[in-house]
Chain A
Amino acid sequence: MVEWTDFERATIQDIFSKMDYESVGHNALARCLVVYPWTQRYFGNFGNLYNAAAIMGNPKVAAHGAVVLHGLDRAVKNMDNIKATYAELSVLHSEKLHVDPDNFRLLADCLTIVVASRLGTGFTADVQAAFQKFLAVVGAALRKQYH
């Protein structure tokens, strides 16, 4: 089971309590589609993803980014049982959506960059370590039901 220090718990709660889910989710997913263009293959019915401006302005990208971020909320509220919390989502991503689990890390990296750019100097090294640990645990939980 994952052990969380008091600092790590407080940091994760603090970051998410102040987060604008719609804006951050939109930004993180859009970055993923721009910086790692092969990820666009999962969104064939999203319409125009032809260039960065199109991706940033695409309403389906914005909506789906918000969906993903709100999904992260469940981990934030169940930090001591992230694996079980995401068991169904893991099965969904594997069996129905056929998402290569490497992509969880790519999205996590883009989300880290968005949060870093919003928090500025408030995104200290300790905060970065806690946030990346949280996203690593989330990624592992989403990967869990794949094999």
Chain B
Amino acid sequence: MVEWSDAERSAIAAVWGKLNLDEVGPQALGRVLIVYPWTQRYFGTFGDLSNAAAILGNPKVANHGKVVLGALDKAVKNLDNIKGTYANLSQLHCEKLNVDPDNFRLLADCLTIVIATKFGAAFPPQVQATWQKLMAVVVAALTSRYF
């Protein structure tokens, strides 16, 4: 089981509490589609993804970004059982959505970068380390039902 120190728990709660999920979700997903263009293959029904402006203005991208960040809330509220919390989502991503699990890390990286752009100096190394630990645990949990 993953151990979280008190300092890590409060750091995560502090970061999460300051995030506007409706803003950050679309930005993170938009960046993934722009910076790692092969990920667009998962969103064939989303319409115009032909350039950065189209992606950032696309309402389906925005909506889906909000869905994903909303799901991350479950991990933040269940730090001691992220694996159990995401068991069904893991199965869904594997068996129904056929998402290569490497993409979870790409989205985690883009989310971390969006947070860095918003927090500036309020995202010091210790907080970054804690946040990336959470991302790694989430990615592992989403990958756990793949095999």
Query: Interface on A for B, CB 8 Å cutoff?
Result: 27, 30-31, 34-35, 52, 55-56, 109, 112-114, 116-121, 123-126, 128-129, 132
Contacts and interface: CB of A to CB of B under 8 A. Distances in A.
Given A125-B52, A132-B35, A116 B117 contact: yes
B133 to A, nearest CB: 9
Given A109-B109, A125-B52, A129-B35, A117 B125 contact: no
Contacts of B119: 117
B121 A117 contact: yes
Interface residues of B, number: 25
Contacts of A132: 35
Given A52-B126, A113-B113, 11 more contacts: A35-B129, A52-B125, A52-B129, A55-B125, A56-B124, A125-B27, A125-B30, A125-B56, A128-B34, A129-B34, A129-B35
B128 interface: yes
Contacts of A126: 34, 52
**Lowest 9 CB-CB distances: which A-B pairs, in order?**
A34-B125, A116-B116, A125-B34, A117-B116, A35-B129, A129-B35, A31-B125, A52-B126, A113-B116
B40 interface: no
Contacts of A117: 116-117, 119-121, 123
A31 B88 CA distance: 34
B132 interface: yes
B126 A34 contact: yes
Q: Tell me the interface secondary structure of chain A in the complex.
A: helix
Contact of B117 (A30, A55, A123, A129): A123
A76 to B, nearest CB: 20
Nearest to A128: B35
A123 B116 CA distance: 10
Contacts of B125: 27, 30-31, 34-35, 52, 55-56
A58 to B, nearest CB: 12
Contacts of B110: 128
Contact of A35 (B30, B118, B120, B132): B132
Nearest to B129: A35
B122 to A, nearest CB: 9
A128 B35 CA distance: 7
Contacts of A109: 109
A124 to B, nearest CB: 8
A120 B117 contact: yes
Contacts of A118: 120
B112 interface: yes
